[in-house]
Amino acid sequence: RMDIKKEYKQLKLYNLKLSDAGIYTCKYGSHEVHTSLHILKLTIPLDGHFLQNEVPELILMQNSTSPLPNLSITLFNSSNNRVTKEFQSKAQQKYTVSLKKLEAMDSGTWVCQVHSDSPLTNQNISFAVKVLGFQNPDLERKYATVDSTVILTWHLNSQKIKWNKHFTGQLNWKQQESANAHELLDFIVTAQGEMEETKKSSSFLFEIPEIKPEGIIEVKLPKVHFNHSGHYQCQVEYQGRHAWRKIELVVMKVSANPDGPLSREANVTLTCQVSGPLPPNAYLRWVPVNGTHTDIKNSKQQEVKLEVNVSAAGLWSCHLMEDNDSKISLHYHVEEAPTWIKYVIIGASVGGSLLVFVLGCLCIISGISWQRRRQRAKRMAQARQYLLENKTCHCQQ
């Protein structure tokens, strides 16, 4: 691990170790020169390959002739911003620091700046950090209406940071946090960056787009149902460690009771419902399209259901609001029943009343006839009894 060039009085050491620190002496005739070698070693765990939200610990070791100098250490991230966390020292030989939770944007070249006054030391140690993860926010919320089409997308940064390690991943869905997760698909990304996806669920109606940019995990729900709402979690796995991002899908639907055209002097109840739960600043709003401001009805914050009673035909719109911003809306058209339907309803009512009257009359007549037959039968029985008791036969001359 060394190379000596006598003509230049030069000693070159390769692959330095902490144990190589010390005093090196060069003798040339009666001349003698001493050089102190101070060695610093910065240890980056996992060869600088981390996953999102991991908290790695950096270790800086030093070895030199006694006494060991007191080091001042400053860490700069990939954006050249100073990391506020301080290195903790143990007997001035070992310095450690636990970084904050890493994000995908932390990928790049970091610099550890080491300074000492005695002996004078100014050393910059550069090291590469690659953070595999998603460019999506921590929790993304997406809104959709029933029967609409929704595309859910996760942006992996593996291509951007030139991640050259094999890793796997999967996409899961569950309607509630406490429910069991259903695996929708899994994927493999090779060291060359090639991705292979496999669809797992056969009961859940979704599609995997064939053409999409590299590093994209995407599913398409061609016709959203109300029970498609919930948490969609995409996660990657590397060497037994995991990173993930969730997209929460909130679905809205509207309905009417009773359903169908609105007849004269009748009311209908319109119901707007979202799958929820909603953020604290969210609420529902019913708005008549051609109505007045006084006809608008708002729910309380975070309520997932709102009803409004309607007595006239017209177009109503339900909005999901966050503060004063409408995130999604769905319309319901209350139709007025045609005139002939009104007459049919009136005729049916009158006909129904007449039918009840006729049936009542028939019941009375039938009751009277039954009573007469009963009395006649009773008189005939009495006559037969009388004849038997007197044993008399009356013949007409």
Per residue in 116-131, pLDDT (tens digit) is 888 788 999 999 999 9
Does residue 57 surpass a pLDDT of 90?
A: yes
pLDDT of residue 113: 94
Judge if 222 and 155 occupy the same domain: yes
Which of the listed residues 334, 351, 380 is the one where a domain comes to its end?
334
Domains contained in the chain, number: 3
What is the mean pLDDT of the segment spanning 307-311? 91
Which of the listed residues 132, 156, 178 is the one where a domain comes to its end?
132
pLDDT of residue 242: 95
Tokens read off for 92: 């001035």
Higher pLDDT, 88 or 192: 192
For 115, 143, 201, 282, the CA distances from 330, given in Å and listed in that order, are: 64, 11, 30, 16
Q: Which domain holds residue 314?
A: 258-334
Compute the distance between CA of residue 195 and CA of residue 200 in angstroms, rounded to an integer.
Answer: 16
In a domain, 218, yes or no: yes
Judge if 117 and 147 occupy the same domain: no
Which of the listed residues 251, 282, 299 is the one where a domain comes to its end?
251
| Displacement of CA 249 from its chain's centroid (Å) | 6
pLDDT of residue 102: 94
Higher pLDDT, 344 or 381: 381
Whether residue 306 contacts residue 253, with contact meaning beta carbons closer than 8 Å, is answered with no
In a domain, 48, yes or no: yes
Does residue 243 surpass a pLDDT of 80?
A: yes
In a domain, 62, yes or no: yes
Which residues lie below 8 Å from residue 328, measured CB to CB, with a gap of 6+? 143, 144, 145, 252, 319, 320
Does residue 313 surpass a pLDDT of 90?
A: no
Higher pLDDT, 152 or 345: 152
Mean of the per-residue pLDDT values of the chain: 86
In a domain, 363, yes or no: no
pLDDT of residue 293: 76
| Displacement of CA 45 from its chain's centroid (Å) | 31
Compute the distance between CA of residue 185 and CA of residue 209 in angstroms, rounded to an integer.
Answer: 13
Does residue 369 surpass a pLDDT of 80?
A: no
Which residues lie below 8 Å from residue 274, measured CB to CB, with a gap of 6+? 250, 251, 252, 253, 284, 304, 305, 320
In a domain, 10, yes or no: no
Judge if 237 and 280 occupy the same domain: no
Confidence of residue 264 (pLDDT cuts 50, 70, 90): confident
Higher pLDDT, 365 or 316: 316
Confidence of residue 341 (pLDDT cuts 50, 70, 90): very low
Judge if 296 and 245 occupy the same domain: no
pLDDT of residue 289: 86
CATH assignment of the domain containing 277 = 2.60.40.10
Judge if 238 and 146 occupy the same domain: yes
Does residue 345 surpass a pLDDT of 60?
A: no
In a domain, 151, yes or no: yes
Higher pLDDT, 384 or 106: 106
Compute the distance between CA of residue 283 and CA of residue 263 in angstroms, rounded to an integer.
Answer: 31
Which residues lie below 8 Å from residue 181, measured CB to CB, with a gap of 6+? 172, 173, 174, 233
Dihedral angle at the C-alpha atoms of 303, 305, 306, 309, nearest 10 degrees?
Answer: -150
- HSE-CB of 104 using CA atoms within 13 angstroms: 19
Does residue 204 surpass a pLDDT of 70?
A: yes
Residue of 83, 63, 65, 64 whose CA lies nearest to 73 = 83
For 66, 141, 144, 220, 285, the CA distances from 205, given in Å and listed in that order, are: 70, 20, 16, 9, 30
What is this structure's pTM?
0.76
pLDDT of residue 84: 77
Report pLDDT digits (tens) over 78-100: 999 998 777 888 777 899 998 88
The strand order across the sheet containing 88-90 reads 39-43, 57-63, 94-98, 88-90
Judge if 219 and 271 occupy the same domain: no
pLDDT of residue 397: 43
Q: For 77-81, 83-87, 265-269, 327-331, which range has the lowest pLDDT when averaged over its residues? A: 83-87
In a domain, 201, yes or no: yes
Judge if 63 and 153 occupy the same domain: no
In a domain, 65, yes or no: yes
pLDDT of residue 261: 85
Judge if 236 and 181 occupy the same domain: yes
Judge if 201 and 227 occupy the same domain: yes
Judge if 232 and 148 occupy the same domain: yes
